[in-house]
Structure 1
């Protein structure tokens, strides 16, 4: 996939497992293999709507490799067209609009840790600037700054766009401003939708999915607060993404995708403002939600989730305001120091 100059460190590059050591498989080939495995195993639900944009974000890819992969899977009869946008998984069922996870589509196995570490570093750099307004981001300068190929830099920005931190306007990349008002608005959206979605999802939650989430939380509780950004990501996704994807109302899940920036802000502010020995109650709040679901008490779990979101909103806005009142981050060669004109203020 990475045809640019410089080291190839994009999420979908790397040695193949074939007979040619060190050779790289095309990005679309790896996506084909991941999706094919999930379709044949049944881990990707029949009738699920597969869209190029969300799949590209999950695989850390541009849309073109995803488009090629879906065309090949369609030729194999593993996905099919329908009257709406995208394709449907499998040969029957649907359309079922759910927010798919990296685990469901097989993307989690294709993202080496080094690539995730680079992405989280760039994610934090973008967030630190977004807290102070809308700034122009240079894709080429990003590639040079981190010594990667330009296609890999583009993939990083595509992932940041999926997280609500970056956007493309008039052929240029920009940070998306994030202040206390926007963060509160995002939490308000989640407060309206997530508890209702969890009530609907609770009866359909598979025991293995719930059990895996509880196991990860137990391991995290033993190690907290010394958790990596990746681990915080996983804990948030367990409660706020993975469980909710079992909501039969796909419109809920699609609307919640707009609130991803609040996840990103929370996990990075946890590291930026809280010392290594800080005790944060969010793990116990997650535990209350998962325990209620384990007892089959969907309404109790939904109320616990609502309380958790209220606490997270207040805590997140307070932390964000405290950070914005401090010193601005040092300049970076790939982010313009001057904010955009009319909408420069966050």
Structure 2
């Protein structure tokens, strides 16, 4: 969801989060070396992680925070050799000015429930086709039918639900062919986007990404893939969405939503991630840093083909699972 694109007064949500964090760093409330994680900050600001992630990236570009071998960012400039301080940020009394708090909480009702509805839908579509009943969805979240239609319209824009010939809202099924279709679009969109945006990629951000990928690669050797989704998101933002074409970037983002939902669901079902993903992304980042754009584009095509094969193989395993243990009350299975 493009949570950060909803205007809040004269500022967007990520800009407000950025201002709050910057002022607390400058005031010393957030001391040098403090580990900043998206989740706890999002909880304090009562917003989603997307604007917090963008705010931290902006502060990184200013040199106020930097990445390190662990999760999150450290307060302070890079190269300062600061020891990570993992104090819970909620215990530090983050100062959120009243105007910022009011602006952050002024988001419309559909934004407040969107993430949960998206998660509910993603959690069942691999098991078949489900109908979403507007009235039941409205009652479930205690919102109006207008709010429900806003949510469903945005889910449809992202290809997660559709209307059938009877004008019923339908989610799923997520099939092997659906996944192949999305990966076919990825192959058409993402390698050319890398080629188009190669010169616009920030070298500092690329180096930080590469450092993070190498650390994740080392961690994966011990069986840890905790940061895989976050790193893949950062790779897309840094290397693919550097292309100076907003329409292309929107197409990439929207096509990735069901792909990410599929991967998240497979992890939720207990299927392991593949360490090869991190290695492939690391190779692409290294090639871009060396200026070997065409080799990076070719490696991206190889990565997408391998990712498709991995996903299809895991979906075959899921095919023998009887179905989700629990679905939201507003999701009704459609029997063929």
TM-score per shorter chain, which class?
A: 0.5 to 0.7
> What is the match of residue 205 of structure 1?
201
Query: 1-side partners of 2:298 and 2:194: how far apart?
Result: 10
Q: Where does the alignment leave 5 or more consecutive residues of structure 2 unmatched?
A: 20-49, 59-103, 106-110
RMSD: 4.2
Q: CA deviation at 1:175?
A: 0.8
Q: Does 1:33 align with 2:29?
A: no
Query: Which of 328-337 and 303-312 deviates more?
Result: 328-337
Query: 1-side partners of 2:154 and 2:211: how far apart?
Result: 28
> What is the match of residue 160 of structure 2?
165
* 8 Å CA contact retained: 1:198, 1:247: yes
> What is the match of residue 282 of structure 1?
277
Q: CA deviation at 1:204?
A: 1.5
Q: Does 1:266 align with 2:244?
A: no
* 8 Å CA contact retained: 2:277, 2:303: yes
Q: Which structure has the higher relative contact order (CA within 8 Å, separation 6+)?
A: 1
> What is the match of residue 183 of structure 2?
187
> What is the match of residue 24 of structure 1?
none
* 8 Å CA contact retained: 1:203, 1:298: no
Cα pair distance change 1:175/1:206, threshold 3 Å: same
Cα pair distance change 1:143/1:191, threshold 3 Å: same
Query: 1-side partners of 2:138 and 2:124: how far apart?
Result: 18
Cα pair distance change 1:102/1:188, threshold 3 Å: farther
Query: 2-side partners of 1:162 and 1:108: how far apart?
Result: 27
> What is the match of residue 326 of structure 1?
321
Q: What is the TM-score of this pair, normalised by structure 2?
A: 0.58
Cα pair distance change 1:153/1:247, threshold 3 Å: same
Query: 1-side partners of 2:268 and 2:53: how far apart?
Result: 29
* 8 Å CA contact retained: 1:163, 1:264: no
> How many correspondences in the alignment?
248
Q: CA deviation at 1:216?
A: 4.0
Among 217, 223, 241, the residue aligned to 2:213 = 217
Cα pair distance change 1:196/1:152, threshold 3 Å: same
Q: What is the TM-score of this pair, normalised by structure 1?
A: 0.57
Mapping of 1:102-117 within 5 angstroms?
Answer: none
Q: CA deviation at 1:220?
A: 3.9
Query: 2-side partners of 1:207 and 1:254: how far apart?
Result: 23
Query: 2-side partners of 1:304 and 1:31: how far apart?
Result: 43
Cα pair distance change 1:255/1:29, threshold 3 Å: closer
